Amino acid sequence: MPRVKLHRFADNATRPDVIEPGKPEFETLGGRWRADFFHNDHPLTLEMGCGKGEYTVGLAERHPQRNFLGLDIKGERLWSGSTRAAALGLANVGFVRARAEALTAQFDPGELSEIWITFPDPRPRDRDIKRRLTSPRFLNQYQELLAAGAPLHLKTDNDGLFDYTLEMLAARPGTAIEASTRDLYAEQGPGFAEAQAIQTNFEGKYRAVGVPIKYVRFRLS
C-alpha cells in the first residue's frame, strides 16, 4: 500500500470528524448523531457515496444551521473531505466510513432530514441492479431512516440510471416527484437552484464535454 495512503489512514484514525470501524463511536452514534457528534439539534442531511466530500462540504458551507454527513467506504476519499472541511473551519460536517448496504446500522428510523445521492456508480450490469443506490432495496432503507416527508435528491450524468430511478419511483405508491430534468443547467427557477449551486470536479468534467446532468428531487410516502 502506498505510503501516502497509509499516512492518510493514520490521520483518519485521529480525526474526530471521521467515524470509522475501530472507533468506539462507530457503533454507538445511531440515533445520537445530533446530540453526541454535532452537539446541537439541527436537521441532519446525509450524502450517499460522498467520494472526496466535495458536495457534503459544499452543502455544509451553504447551510451553517444544518448538519451534514458524507458516507463512503473509501477512507482516502474521506480524508480529502475532512481536510477541506477543516481548512474552511466547518463544524457542521462529518464523514462516515461504511458500506451503503449497512446504512440502517448507522442511523435510527426517522433520524435523517434529507438525503443526497450524487453521481453514484450506475451499476449498468444486470447482475448489479440490487447495488444501484436507487434500487428498491435502498429506497426502502431511505424511507425507514428519513423523517416523514423528507426530500431525496439524485444527480447523475448517466441516462440509464436516471431512467431506472424514475421507473422505480413510479412503481412506489405515494411517491411524489417535485422536480425532474434531463438537463439541470438548462433549467431556471427556484425548484432547481439548490441542485445547481454546487458543482463537483467530476460534474464539471462531464459538462465540459457536453454531457447534460440529470436531476430529480422526490419524497417517499
Q: Per the annotation, does 68 bind a ligand? A: no
Half-sphere exposure of 91 (CA within 13 A, CB side): 7
Say if residue 192 carries a ligand binding annotation: no
121 in active site = yes
Residue among 121, 128, 159, 183 flagged as catalytic = 121
Residue 25 marked ligand-binding: no
**Residues whose CB falls within 8 Å of the CB of residue 52, separated by 6 or more in sequence, listed in order:** 77, 80, 81, 84
178 is in an annotated binding site: no
Q: Any known ligand binding at 47? A: yes
Q: Does 128 show up as a binding residue in the annotation?
A: no
Can you say which residues are annotated as belonging to the binding site for substrate? 157, 200-203
Can you say which residues are annotated as belonging to the binding site for S-adenosyl-L-methionine? 47, 72, 121
Can you say which residues are annotated as belonging to the binding site? 47, 72, 121, 157, 200-203
Q: Which residues are part of the catalytic machinery? A: 121
